[in-house]
Chain A
Amino acid sequence: MPASGVSPTMSSIRQQPFGAAVLVLVWGWLLFLVLAPNLLVVGASVMTRDPGSFLSLPLNLDAYRQLMDPLYLDVFLHSLYMAAVTTLACLLIGYPFAWALSKVEKRRQLLLIFFLIVPFWTNSLVRTYALKLILATNGLINSALLSLGWIDEPVRMLYTEGAVIIGLVYLLLPFMILPLYSVFDDLREELVMASHDLGAGRFATFLHVIVPLTLPGVLAGVMLVLLPAMGLFFVPDILGGSRNLLVGNVIKNQFLDARNWPFGAAASIVLTLTMAVLMLAHRISKQRIGEEGSA
C-alpha cells in the first residue's frame, strides 16, 4: 500500500476539517469495535467464570491451564491436525493450479478467475449441505458405486474426519489459489529462462528460483486457509458428527452454551497468536525477496 508515499497534492490533515472529521469517524469505529473488544477478550481470559454475570474476579490463569487439560488438548491437537491436512491439501491442489492458471492466455484468465470466485460467493452453508448429499450413506457416491457393482454395501463417508477435511478444502481452496496466482502472475519469465541458461535443470530451477519467489504467496495462502480451517464450526456440525470438532466448535460451545467465557476467550487468544506468528513469517519472507530483488 502506498501509505508512506507522499504524492505532490497530498496535504496535511491539519488544514482540512472535512478530512479530520472522516478520520475521527474511522478511528472511532476501529477503537470501539476492534481494539476495545479485543482488549475485552484478553481481559476475559484471565478472569474467573461466573454463571450470573459471565465474569468475575479474581484474576488468574485457570482458563489457560484448562486448555492444557488432556481432554481439550486432544480436541485442539485434532483440530490442528485437520487444519494442517486441509492446508497441505489446498497447497498441493492449489500450487500447480495457480501455476497452470498463470500460463493461460491473459483474456481467458479473467474469465477463469471469475469462475473460481463464483462458488466462493455462494452461501457456504448451502455448499456444505450439498456435500452432505454427495457423501451420505445413501448419497450420490454410494449409490453410484453400488449400481456399478464396485461395492456391496455403502461406505461410511459422512460424519468422519475425512468428510470434515473435504468440506474445509472445498470451502477454502480459493483462498489458497488467489494469493498463489498473484505471485505466479508476477513471476518474471526471464528469471526462469536465466536459470535455464545458466545450466540449471528443471528441478534446480524450481527449487532455487520458483519456490523462493512464490514463497510469500504460499505463506499468504497458508495463513488464509489454516486459521479459518480451525474456526469454521459449521463444517463439523454438518459433516463431522460429534467426534471431529474444531477449535471453533470449542470456542462456540464455551461462549454460547457452557457460558464459560474465560475459557472461550483463552482459546480465541491462542488462535490470534497463531495468526500473529504466521503474519510475521509472511512479512519476513516478503522483505527478504524485496532485498534480493533490489541487490
Chain B
Amino acid sequence: MIRWLPRAWLMLIYGLLYVPIAVLVVFSFNDSRSGYTWGGLSLRWYETLFNNHAMVEAMWNSLWLALSAATVSTLIGGLTALALHRYRFRGKRVLNGMLFVVMMSPEIVLAISLLALFLLVGIQLGYVSLLLAHVTFCLPFVVITVMARLSGFDESLPEAARDLGASDFTMTRTVLIPVIMPALLAGWLLGFTLSLDDVVVSTFVSGPTYEILPLRIYSMVRVGLKPEVNALGTLLLVFSLVMLSLSQWILTRSKQ
C-alpha cells in the first residue's frame, strides 16, 4: 500500500469537516450586507446580535436550562451509576437496557412521545417540560461516563473502608464520590453541551412562554441568510471549545 495514502485521507476529511466552520468564523467578521461577498472586517454582526433583545433573552434561557438540566442529570445519573455498581438488585439488566435504548433512540421518537405525555398529564409546555425532556436524554450519557470510571476502580479501597467500620453511606461519601468526581464533572459538561445544542426534542416540547436559543436560530435560518447567525455560531463554537477542552483536561489530569 502507498504509505502516505492513509494520512492524506485523514487530512482531507479533517479539512472538509472544518471548511464550513472556517467559513462561519470568517464571515462573522464580514462587513458586507449580502452575506456571500467579502466586504472587509467588521464587528457589526456581533453588535446586531447583542442588540437583538429576543435573542439575548433566548440565550439566557438556554444557558439556564442547560445549567439546570446538566445538574439534575448529573445528580440522578451519578447516583444511578453508583447503585448499578454497588448493589445487587432485581431488574438491573432491564435498567441498563432502558438507558441504552434511550441513548440509541432517534431523537424525534423521544420528542413526540414526551409531547404526548406532557399534553396528556397537563404539564404546560415551557421551562418544566424542557427540563424534564433534557434530563431524560442526558441521563444515559452521565451514567455511562461514571460507570466507565467505576469499572476500572480498585475494589480493595471500599472493602478496607468497610472493614474499618464505615457505614455504606460514609464509605460512598468518602471513598467513591472522590473517585468518580472527574467523571461527574465530565458528565455534567457533556449534559450541558447536549442540552445547549438540542434542536429536535426542544422543537416539540417548548412553548411560547420560554424561547430558547436553538429554536430562535431555527426560525432565523429557515428563510434566507442572516449574517448575525455567523456571529452567534462563532461564539457558540468558542464556548463549546472551552467546555470540551475543560472536560478533556479534567479527565486526563485525573488519570495520572
Contact = CB atoms under 8 A, between A and B. Distances in A.
A126 B93 contact: no
Interface string B81-109: 01111111101110110110110111111
A96 B9 contact: yes
A136 interface: yes
A170 B89 contact: no
A11 B23 contact: no
Interface string A110-129: 10101111110111111111
A25 interface: yes
A123 B233 contact: yes
Interface residues of B, number: 93
A138 B102 CA distance: 42
Contacts of A78: none
Contacts of A136: 36, 225
Interface in B185-203: 193, 196-197, 199-200, 203
A13 B113 contact: no
A44 B109 CA distance: 13
Nearest to B19: A134
Interface in A1-44: 1-4, 6-13, 16, 18-19, 22-23, 25-27, 29-30, 32-38, 40-41, 44
B102 A34 contact: yes
A228 B103 CA distance: 12
A140 B6 contact: no
A202 to B, nearest CB: 8
Interface residues of A, number: 95
Contact of B244 (A30, A97, A114, A232): A114
A264 interface: yes
B56 interface: no
A227 B106 contact: yes
Contacts of A138: 34, 36
Interface string B22-61: 0110010000001111000000000000000000000000
Given A3-B92, A11-B88, A119-B21, A133 B225 contact: yes
A46 interface: no
A127 B108 contact: no
A130 B24 contact: yes
Contacts of A121: 193, 197, 240, 243-244
With a 10 A CB-CB cut-off, give which of B1, B6, B92 has the most chain A CB atoms: B6
Nearest to A261: B116
A123 B107 contact: no
B9 A8 contact: no
B82 A22 contact: yes
Contact of A96 (B6, B203, B240): B6
8 contacts: A10-B88, A12-B87, A123-B236, A130-B20, A133-B35, A133-B225, A227-B104, A252-B203
